[in-house]
Amino acid sequence: MTTANDKYEAVIGLEVHAQLNTQTKAFCGDAYVYGAAPNTQVSPISLGHPGTLPKPNIEALKFALKMGLACNSKIHKRTHYSRKNYFYADLPKGYQITQYTNPICTEGAIIINTADGGTKSIRLDKIILEEDSGKSIHDLDPFSSLIDLNRAGVPLIEIVSEPDMHLPEEAYQYLIEIRKTVRYLGICDGNMEEGSLRCDANVSIRLKGTTAFNTKVEIKNLNSIRNVQRAIAHEIIRQTNMMEKGERVLGETRGFDPVKGETFAMRAKELVNDYRYFPEPDIPPVVVTEEDIQKVRVLMPELPRALHHRFVNEFGLSDYDAAVIVAEKESADYYQELIKLTQNYKAAANWLNGPVRSFLNENAIGFDDFEIKADFIAEIIKLVDANKLSFSVASQKLFPELVKRKGATGIQDLVKELNLIQEDDDSIILTYIQEAIAAYPEKVLEYKAGKKGLLGLFMGEVMKKSGGKADPKKTNRLLAEELEK
């Protein structure tokens, strides 16, 4: 029996807005800081007063070029801005400066990870430069809507995908990749909760095996990557049920209720030509030379996929370890710092993904707030490699004390003060062994009779007596020798 799920295929295209974290707005010198007191970052230009003129921010253009280069897009040497006219209280000028017929970047792709462990390329339609609107606040005053114009004129890039995705999970991965990329490029903080990264999801369904596109629905105001995935999943079910009942899916804009996990109708789709686009007369065409592109190219950081590849191939990390480290730029930077100081690349990864990450998670802080410099961790790795310290003592006793003191005490001093140096003196270890053997005469007999697993019991005893400091390798060897006697 075929189910509705086998019969249909979803078609998904995403429009992502990324707020560029330039010093100043797109067309004037106003600063923008998220969370600043309302309407404090607005000059007459942001307010669109008569007689004011926009002046393009070159930094914003460079940021858009960075994204274009990161996505292997075509960069257009001559483009211009357009006006998109509409009336809304949070748009003081009555139009948005955007790009319409000729985007700064077209084509290119975002590579995503797929569930089967492979990758898939999601083609881009375009990347355009535009300005943000102000913000309407509907939930503060019971009788009125409030307007905060701080955000008006903040530069944005809009990244428009081709409708190449077919699963909610692919949309999720696509956003993970975009967020990682803008963060590595340092052009946007990628925070969906604060609205610096926003996503509209376009969803339609069609019979499997057909290629024509059906009417799509656009879901707006999605405030987390997980909610984008959930909204699409729900929308696919809703449209499938409609198709099965022989109903027509209407082209409309929908919202998403995260509590119910459902999309809901907001408004019928407005027509494109309602906006009366025309070329922005106050800004000359944007001209980018090969030299300009080259200047941006040299600023490009190594991107996560390239880093991942290098960590696996050059440093022998597992795919998993590499993925965890490159997931955030801060941890990748920390790792690169660390491996300048130690050649034990695997141990460096284990430290970052083990004790360090646990500490950060427990304290809900990120790598950028981690106060222990990489040279401390490198020194611990050296001590462990030299058998002066066991990994368990290092991670369970030394590291917690190190973070407690915020790295104020050097490793050598701390190890001495806490008396952690591993015992590798044969005679001392042998004393512990003899004590352990004397405590369990029957177990010794059982061991001799073939129950070799009992070695663990004796190891445990010796470790207890030595306060965890007996060199485990040596103890293991000496114990086996003593028990065989």
Q: Could you say whether residue 25 binds ligand ADP (CB under 6 A)?
A: no
Burial of residue 168, with CB atoms counted within 10 A of its CB: 0-12 exposed, 13-18 middle, 19 or more buried: buried
Distance in angstroms (rounded) separating the CA atoms of residues 119 and 384 = 38
Q: Could you say whether residue 73 binds ligand ADP (CB under 6 A)?
A: no
Stretch in the footprint of ligand ADP (CB under 6 A) among 96-104, 199-207, 420-428, 475-483: 199-207
Nearer to ligand ADP, 135 or 166 (CB): 166
- Out of 54, 103, 153, 163, point to the residue binding ligand ADP (CB under 6 A): 163
Q: Closest distance between ligand ADP and the C-beta of residue 126, in Å?
A: 9
Q: Closest distance between ligand ADP and the C-beta of residue 268, in Å?
A: 12
Q: Could you say whether residue 11 binds ligand ADP (CB under 6 A)?
A: yes
DSSP-derived secondary structure for 242-297? HHHTTPPPP-EEEEEETTTTEEEEEEEPPPGGGG--EE-TTSPPEE--HHHHHHHH
Q: Are 63 and 155 in contact (CB under 8 A)?
A: yes
DSSP-derived secondary structure for 457-471? HHHHHHHHHTTT-B-
Q: Could you say whether residue 355 binds ligand ADP (CB under 6 A)?
A: no
Number of residues that bind ligand ADP (CB under 6 A): 16
**Alpha-helix runs per DSSP H in 142-204:** 168-185
Q: Could you say whether residue 179 binds ligand ADP (CB under 6 A)?
A: no
- 438: tokens are 């004397």
Site string for ligand ADP, 254-283 (x = CB under 6 A): ------------------x-----------
- Out of 216, 230, 308, 469, point to the residue binding ligand ADP (CB under 6 A): 216
Q: Could you say whether residue 15 binds ligand ADP (CB under 6 A)?
A: yes
Distance in angstroms (rounded) separating the CA atoms of residues 188 and 19 = 6
Site residues for ligand ADP, window 133-162 (CB under 6 A)? 160-162
Q: Closest distance between ligand ADP and the C-beta of residue 165, in Å?
A: 9
Distance in angstroms (rounded) separating the CA atoms of residues 230 and 259 = 11
Distance in angstroms (rounded) separating the CA atoms of residues 111 and 165 = 12
- Out of 57, 73, 204, 229, point to the residue binding ligand ADP (CB under 6 A): 204
Start-to-end Cα distance in the chain: 70
CA dihedral of residues 479, 480, 484, 485 (deg, nearest 10): -40
- Out of 8, 13, 57, 471, point to the residue binding ligand ADP (CB under 6 A): 13
Site residues (CB under 6 A) for ligand ADP? 11-15, 160-163, 202-204, 213-214, 216, 272
